[in-house]
Structure formats: structure tokens, C-alpha cells
Amino acid sequence: MSSIEKAGTYKLGDRTVKRMGYGAMQLAGKGVFGPPKDRDAAIAVLREAIESGVDHIDTSDFYGPHVTNQIIKEALHPYSKDLLIVSKIGAKRGADASWNPAFSRQELIDAVHDNLRNLGIDVIEAINLRAMFSHHGPAEGSMEEPLTVLAELQQKGLIKHIGLSNVTRKQIEDGRKITEIVCVQNQYNLAHREDDALIDQLADEGTAYVPFFPLGGFSPLQSSTLSDVATRLGATPLQVALAWLLKRSPNILLIPGTSSVGHLRENLAVADIELTQDAMRELNGIAAKA
């Protein structure tokens, strides 16, 4: 059994995917803006992921913008029927590389069609609507109008499943009154654990939780405790951080991103790491010190 298979599977919508997936954000240029320095290397990472058994790729047409989806298409199209590509809308990039809300009806419709065109597909299997009410994390605000637009596009057959990103529990509950919410994608990692209760609730409900910035994002996780545990296990600190997420809850689907084949292989090997109860207790204490 390969490492990625040891991580197990979980349901996302009507698909069952391996819990170790891949996030495409880092395939774009610096700051997730513009093209990568080495497009061939980006293509190689995607193909290595698929060859290694990855069947869940997370992307967005506002990465670049348009860059990552175009690279995915070049590298992998025509897609395997087993591959689930999940995209995200609700934001757009400014000419200065800023991240801005894109919640109007026309912006959402355009974003869906941009994803379809740049990925080279007729239907988006799953799309996450990202809330942009605050730059500091989830914040309350009505998702009714944008979700209604997506539900209409879903009825037209352009979208199969809908998820939410950067949202609160109330927004999830309100969203379910409009359409089925198949996954939630929020920031979560060893040091950023505001969603602990939400993850457990979603697990009880059978809903996938996909943490973004599982390794800290633009400021990678750093902790002496994490480093000590990693040294004892003969792993890297970031491998241990991913292994902790796999053990944290069965509904967590991982999408660590990288532009390096070597780093990709390290990420996919984390299912081989066995965390003892003592190690979990140590790692669980990191959030209190952050």
C-alpha cells in the first residue's frame, strides 16, 4: 500500500477521494500573481501528483489570475475520470496583486465561465464560494445572494457541488437553506485552531473540511515542540504538522501546495508517520503557546 492510500479516503459531494490531495496555489508566480518562473516545473509537479495517486486538486481562477487553471489544463487535460478538481470563486485580483471581493451576480457568473474555459471542462464538479467580509478571517455577512446565483448555475448544469470558504458556522447553516454544502474550506493548522468545534460538528454531519494554509501559509509553522517531535520521528516539522491534521479528524482533506516535486513527495509521505498519544498531546499544546 502506498503512503497516500494509508491516509484513507473521505466523501466530498458524491465523490470519494483520498485524504491527501494537492493545492495548486503555489503554481502561480510570487504572491500568487503572474506566471511561475518555471512553467515546465509546475507541469511536472502536477503530473507527479497524479502519478502518485492524488485524485483531488484544489485551485482557483483568481490564482494568477487564470495561471494555475491554464497550467492544470496543459498538464493534465484530458482529465482522468477519477480526478476531482475543486475551484473557488468570490474574489478577484487587482492590477496591484490585491485580493478583492467579487460577489456581484455578474462577477460570479463570469468567474464560473472563466473556470470552465481555463480548465477546459463543461461542468465544475465542485466550487467553493469564498467569503470576503474581512481580511482577518471569517466574519458574519449574508451569503444569500451569491449562493442563490451559484444555485441557479447548479440547476443549469454548470456546477455540480457547492462548498463554502472562510465562513462561520452561521453562514454554513444559512447556506444549507439554499443548497447542499458539501465542504468547508477555512484556515486551520496546528497553531490556528479556531475551527476545532466546527470540524467536529461537520464530521458528525459527514461534511468534508479542507484546511487552507495547513502549514501556516506565507509564514510557515515554526515551533520548538514541533521540531522536537519531528526529530524523534525522523521527519520534517512540516510533515509532522500534516500528519497531525490527518489524525485530528477523519473528515479533514489535505491540500498542501508546493511548486517542487521533491517537496510534493515529502508531503505525500506523511501518512507513514505514526503519532503516539504522547506526541499528539505535545502537538495539541502548540496552539496555546501561539
Phi-psi region of 84 (alpha: psi -120 to 50; beta: other; left: phi over 0): beta
209 is known as an active-site residue: no
State the Cα–Cα distance between residues 102 and 92, nearest whole angstrom. Answer: 6
State the Cα–Cα distance between residues 94 and 254, nearest whole angstrom. Answer: 28
Residue 161 burial (CB count, 10 A): 21
Q: Which among 102, 72, 108, 80 has a CA at the least distance from the CA of 15?
A: 80
Q: Which among 173, 147, 174, 171 has a CA at the least distance from the CA of 161?
A: 147
State the Cα–Cα distance between residues 245 and 214, nearest whole angstrom. Answer: 8
Give backbone dihedrals phi and psi of 180, rounded to 5 degrees, phi first. Answer: -70, 135
Q: Are 202 and 182 in contact (CB under 8 A)?
A: no
Residue 98 burial (CB count, 10 A): 10
Half-sphere exposure of 249 (CA within 13 A, CB side): 24
Query: Cell numbers 520548538 label which residue?
Result: 224
Q: Specify the pairing of strand 124-130 against strand 159-165.
A: parallel
Q: Of 10, 22, 63, 188, which one is the catalytic site residue?
A: 63
Positions annotated as catalytic residues are 63
